[in-house]
Amino acid sequence: MRFSAWFHGLPRGMRAAGWPMRRTCVKRQAWQGSDAGIHSASVQSGLVRATLARRKPHCSGTVITHLFQSSTPFPIIAMQRFKADFKPLTGRAGLVLLAILTTQAAIAGPRTINGCRLEPQTSCPGANLAGANLAGLNLRSANLNGANLRGANLTGTNLPDAKLGGAILVKSILANTNLGGARLTGANLQSAVISGAQLKDAKLQNANLKFAAISGVNLHGANLNAAILKQAIITGTKLDRAQMSAANLQYAQITGSSLYLAKADNADFYGATIQGCVLDSADFKYTDLTRVSISSSSGKALKLRGFRQGTAPPPPIEVNK
């Protein structure tokens, strides 16, 4: 179901009614005022998506998207209290239409892809979700062990404490994804784009993060023991107290990140570049630091006992395909 219309006052009305909103436009004035209105709305994956716009000249072309969670449908009794004039569409009429859309979304229930019901605590081990758009879904504590999520869009997806052991996440998009405490042991995240994600205390032992682009990620206390981060690009990431024993970071580029109290003993940093990082009190004992470039970084109380700078032939630089 989809409609396109202009009306007055809905943003204020929705705020008064307690509708949850998520703005993607930083221009607050772009959706307030008497000339703001719904441009379009539709039901998508259990959410009502409404696009609001403002026609004032100084905000010409500004479009804002909001998502309205449909866990509690708008009271249908509100539709019986008044008769709305839909020509032109008024604020009250807009609330009625959103009520209808929200009710439909609630009735529709969670999406199902290839037999996997996409909801919190779902159990879909081995599910085929390759290329799926799972953006914004709540999959808290879901069991997706061994699932195929190659190329999936997990932007803003809520996956705390989820089970993703052995899952295939090659070239997936994890922007602002919540994976706090998630179990990703042995998962394949090669060439994944991970930005602004929450991975605090996540289990990533033996995970493959080769060629991954990791920026602004919280990996505080994460377990990356024996993980493969070869040629990964790590920027502005928090790795404080992370466990990285025996991890492979050959040719990795680590910039502006914090490894305070990180435990990276026996890790392989061959040819890595470490720039502008905090290495205070980190444990780099018995690590391979051959041809490593460290610049503009702090290393107070850095443990380097037994580190190696060998003369063995360099490991090959691979091509990201």
pLDDT tens readout for residues 84-106: 333 344 455 555 555 555 555 44
Inter-residue contact 222 to 202 (CB < 8 Å):
yes
* Helix, strand, coil shares, percent, the chain, to 5: 10, 25, 65
Q: What is the mean pLDDT of residues 201-225?
A: 99
Tell me what the mean pLDDT of segment 255-282 comes to: 98
Angle made by CA atoms 71, 178, 183, in degrees to the nearest 5 = 115
Average pLDDT over residues 231-250: 98
DSSP structure class, residue 260: T
Write out pLDDT tens, residues 1-39: 333 333 333 444 443 344 443 333 333 333 333 334 444
Find the helix or strand (DSSP H, E) in which 8 lies.
none
Q: pLDDT higher for 58 or 170?
A: 170
Q: Where residue 270 falls among pLDDT bands split at 50, 70, 90? A: very high
In this predicted structure, what is the pLDDT of residue 72?
Answer: 34
**Quick one: which of 18, 3, 8 has its CA closest to 50?**
3
Look-up: residue for tokens 């004039």? 85
Confidence at residue 306, expressed as pLDDT on a 0 to 100 scale: 87
Report percent pLDDT > 70 for the chain. Answer: 65
Residue 88, preceding peptide bond in cis (omega within 30° of 0): yes
Beta strands in the chain (DSSP E): 2-3, 36-44, 47-54, 63-69, 112-113, 116-117, 173-175, 193-195, 213-215, 233-235, 253-255, 273-275, 293-295
Mean pLDDT value across the chain: 77
Could you report the per-residue pLDDT of 110-159, keeping only the tens digit for each? 899 999 999 999 999 999 999 999 999 999 999 999 999 999 999 999 99
